Amino acid sequence: MTRPARTTAVGQRAAPVPTQHLAELAWHLFDEASDDVLLPREHITDRIHVTDGQFERTKGYIRDHLTMEKGKAFLAYRGGYMITTDPAKIAENASLKMRRINTELRRLLSGAINPLGEQVADYEVLAMFQDEIAHMTRTYDRMNKATMTMPKPVRTAKTKRRRRTAART
């Protein structure tokens, strides 16, 4: 769902707010909530009064600048956002993103490059792509095995569903 542009009382568009300022406001929300506390997107956007587009730019600024400055990771994690220094959560998040990247790389090979078969060798750039993507997917396989040895973050207990039996009369 997109939000309408912020407007002033007279109906004119509000002056733009620098992304850096919005990122600092968002980071302050995470500091208030403390590390490892998930904040839903709506909570953040409502509290710092940003549109969806502004929020996307804010997340980029946080990842590009504030995380190194503050020494904490910023993660999109299980339906929310958090700051953390927990290696298990960071590894789980990185693993999920790497899986998506690996899937895209494999599809690039299978759907665009490999169908050319022997002709790939006639095009230096495509041959290089084929070799490098194959190397990246092998690297992913090694990284994936390594993340399997990391401890898993605490998971919430799932309630078991019980079938209701029909009442006998």
pTM value?
0.71
How far apart CA 140 and CA 131 sit, in angstroms, is 14
pLDDT at 90 over 70: yes
Q: How many residues does the chain have?
A: 169
Q: Is 89 exposed, middle or buried (0-12, 13-18, 19+ CB in 10 A)?
A: buried
Rounded to 5°, angle at Cα 72 from 87 and 138: 45
Predicted pLDDT of residue 149: 73
Q: 84 pairs with which residues across the strands? A: 73
How far apart CA 83 and CA 156 sit, in angstroms, is 19
pLDDT digits (tens, 9 = 90+) for 41-80: 999 999 999 999 999 999 999 999 999 999 999 999 888 9
Q: Which residues have CB under 8 Å from 72's CB, separation 6+?
A: 35, 83, 84, 85
pLDDT digits (tens, 9 = 90+) for 23-37: 999 999 999 999 999
> Would you tell me the crossing angle of helices 87-108 and 124-148 to the nearest 10 degrees?
150
pLDDT digits (tens, 9 = 90+) for 105-150: 999 999 999 999 999 999 999 999 999 999 999 999 998 887 777 6
pLDDT band at 158 (very low <50, low <70, confident <90, very high): very low
Residue bearing the bigger pLDDT, 17 or 129: 129
Other beta carbons within 10 angstroms of residue 84's beta carbon come to 19
pLDDT at 3 over 60: no
Q: Scan for tokens 């899986």, then name that residue.
A: 99
pLDDT band at 168 (very low <50, low <70, confident <90, very high): low
21: tokens are 């300022």
